[in-house]
Amino acid sequence: MNSVDFLLTNKDITYEIRTEIKRLGRPVPDLIISKTDVGKSRNYSRHFNSSVYDRFKWLCGCPKRNKLFCFICLVMGGNRSAWTQEGNQQPNYYDLSYRLTQDNITNAQKITTA
């Protein structure tokens, strides 16, 4: 019930189901995401590290799609963005904390009071 696929395909979720999803918690699977960046003198490989879930409590993953999503946004709704529709497959975590929009912060407040 708290899988990303369930949340993406079921837009009309009742309050009771949202409460149960919140109780179950966000899915935090170990994903296989990697990217190679070309530098001036050498190439750099970045790989997904599941410890990112500890740093960003709003982040969740989908093993079927192999992408990251905003769990709060999926549960509470809000603006359509890459974090709620397509997912993110970039293992550049240095700016993840800045990608949470004001709407998502509002959703975070909603989920903590629900």
- The stretch 47-72 carries a mean pLDDT of 88
pLDDT band at residue 110, thresholds of 50, 70 and 90? low
Helix (H) or strand (E) holding 69: strand 67-70
Is the backbone of residue 35 left (phi > 0), alpha (psi -120 to 50) or beta?
beta
Q: Is the pLDDT of residue 62 over 80?
A: yes
Q: How confident is the model at residue 94 (pLDDT cuts 50, 70, 90)?
A: very low
Distance CA 32, CA 29 (A): 10
Under the banding of pLDDT at 50, 70 and 90, the label for residue 49 is confident
Number of helices (H) and strands (E) in the chain: give both, helices first: 5, 4
Please state the length of the chain. Answer: 114
